[in-house]
Each structure stands twice: as C-alpha cells, then as structure tokens.
C-alpha cells in the first residue's frame, strides 16, 4: 500500500537507502502526523522519482526512513517558466502554489514599474513550492529565483525562449497564443498593469507575443492560473 504522507528530502533515494530526517521533518512526521516505527512515507527529491519508505527510527529531534520500492518514475514538466510581479503575500503564495501544481520548470518573481511589493522572501517561497509539490503528488520542484528587475531579465533574455506576456490592454480583443512548440515563458504583470515603456519593449522583442485572457480584466493571481491553463492545454502536457 502506498503512503498517504509525502515528503521532499534533499538526499539520494534508492533501494534500501537510509534517509536521515531533520528536526523539522521529524516534528512533522511524528509530532503532527503521529507516525510511528513501521509507518510508510512517500519520499521524493526531484531527481530519483518517488519511493515508498518505512520509518525505521522515530524521535522528537530526528529519525531515519529506509527506502523500500519505487512508486513513481521521475518526470519533468514542460519547458515553461512563469514570470510574475509579486503582489500581497497570500496571493503571491497562491501563484507559486498553482504554478507548481500546474507544471512549470522555473518561477521568476520580477519587479516592474508598477510592482507593489519591492521585497520577497525567496527561501519562504521556495519552501512553499516544496509544500505544493508534496501536496499535489508531483516529483519535481521548480526553482523560485530571487526578485529581479524586469528590464534586467529582458536584457539577458535568451531569444530562443518565447514569451507570452498577458497584456491587459488587449482585454476583449484577439491576442492568441501562437502554436509554436519549444521553450516558453509566461509573463504576468502587476496589479497596476505594464507601463507604456515595458509594453513597448516587449512588443519590440521578436520572441514575445502579447496575448489576451478574455473579455474581462483578471486579478494577477487569476491571470497566472488562466495563462498557465491556456498554455498547458495548447502546448503543454495537457494537449
């Protein structure tokens, strides 16, 4: 029987491989989930797939699990990045969580001219991405990068990666996602929208396409989910 509790670990996984737990992991498994010796836990590390493991040692400050059998092969999401301007804390968390659930390889917070939040906790958002992967059954955890200015990101941009930027100026108009397989990024602007300068720069990039997300202006977190759904159903692993 496969485990109901899943845990991301930063250690190799394989047959009979012991996995030492951190204090925080031990607290979660034995203090919160009330697991005991002999209980089964599903482990993944982003490289070796998912493994079913048994609790061999359980303590308040640590413990040891032992891998028994593989239960899910390693898989990687499509080559899709999500760039977004951070908003309020809970809604930024929502964007990261849904990006992981919907399958992206990299999450890049960017600071635009109208970005409301000038600081993020990259480590906290990365931990949130890990939690989302644990909950959704995935075996891949995308990297969440440090906040970077959009203009600097675009200056260093690899033009082989196409950009779909969701332009609220196209609300109610036709701005469809080009059917072009390959590496992509989705760019979601801030609550105040892109500045005229940013919009001109993006429209001047041959690798960028302005797309519409329908007849209504969406909140930034809703727009992220809508754009990811559109891309996955057209070019991704939902197609």
Hey, what domains does the chain have and what are their CATH numbers? Answer: 6-72 (2.40.240.20), 80-234 (3.40.1280.10)
Q: What are phi and psi of 233, to 5 degrees?
A: -75, -20
Q: How far apart are CA 13 and CA 48, in angstroms?
A: 6
**In the predicted structure, residue 239 carries a pLDDT above the cut 80:** no
Residues sharing a CB contact under 8 Å with residue 123, sequence separation 6 or more, in sequence order: none
Tens of pLDDT, residue by residue over 68-93, are 999 999 999 999 999 999 998 899 99
pLDDT bin (cut points 50, 70, 90) of residue 175 is: low
pLDDT value of position 176: 80
Average pLDDT over residues 188-206: 94
Q: Determine the distance from the C-alpha atom of residue 203 to the mean position of all C-alpha atoms in its chain, rounded to a whole number.
A: 26
Query: What's the pLDDT score for residue 123?
Result: 96
The pLDDT value recorded for residue 228 is 97
Q: How far apart are CA 140 and CA 50, in angstroms?
A: 10
Buried b / exposed e over 149-188, threshold 16 CB at 10 Å, is ebeebbeeeeeeebbbbbbbeeeeeebebeeeeeebbbbb
What residues contact residue 60 under an 8 Å CB cut-off, 6+ apart? 26, 27, 30, 31
Q: Which residues pair with 162 in a beta bridge?
A: 184
pLDDT of residue 171: 82
Do the Cβ atoms of 17 and 66 come closer than 8 Å?
yes
8 Å CB contact between 188 and 211 = no
The tens digit of pLDDT for each residue in 179-194 reads: 899 999 999 999 889 9
pLDDT (0 to 100) of residue 231: 96
DSSP state of 169: G
Banded model confidence at residue 141, pLDDT cuts 50, 70, 90: very high
Q: How confident is the model at residue 119 (pLDDT cuts 50, 70, 90)?
A: confident
pLDDT band at 146 (very low <50, low <70, confident <90, very high): very high
- Please tell me the predicted confidence (pLDDT) of residue 192: 85
What is the pTM (predicted TM-score) of this model? 0.93
Q: What is the pLDDT of residues 5-52, one digit of tens each?
A: 999 999 999 999 999 999 999 999 999 999 999 999 999 999 999 999
């Amino acid at each position: 029987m496969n485990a109901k509790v899943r845990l991301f670990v930063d250690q190799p996984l394989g047959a009979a491989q012991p996995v030492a737990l951190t204090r925080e992991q031990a607290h979660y498994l034995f203090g919160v989930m009330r697991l005991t010796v002999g209980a089964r836990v599903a482990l993944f590390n982003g490289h070796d797939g998912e493994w079913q493991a048994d609790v061999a040692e359980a303590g308040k400050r640590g413990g040891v699990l032992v891998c028994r059998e593989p239960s899910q092969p390693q898989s990687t999401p499509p080559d899709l990045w999500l760039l977004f301007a951070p908003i309020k804390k809970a809604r930024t968390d929502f964007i990261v969580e849904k990006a992981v659930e919907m399958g992206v390889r990299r999450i890049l917070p960017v600071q635009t001219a109208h970005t409301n939040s000038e600081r993020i906790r990259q480590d906290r958002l990365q931990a949130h991405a890990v939690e989302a992967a644990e909950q959704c059954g995935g075996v891949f955890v995308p990297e969440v990068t440090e906040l970077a200015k959009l203009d600097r990101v675009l200056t260093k941009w690899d033009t082989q990666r196409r950009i779909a930027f969701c332009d609220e100026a196209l609300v109610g108009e036709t701005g469809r996602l080009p059917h072009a397989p390959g590496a992509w990024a989705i760019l979601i602007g801030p609550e105040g929208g892109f500045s005229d300068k940013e919009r001109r720069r993006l429209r001047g990039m041959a690798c960028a396409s302005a797309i519409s997300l329908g007849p209504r202006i969406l909140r930034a977190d809703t727009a992220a989910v809508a754009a990811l759904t559109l891309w996955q159903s057209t070019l991704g692993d939902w197609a």
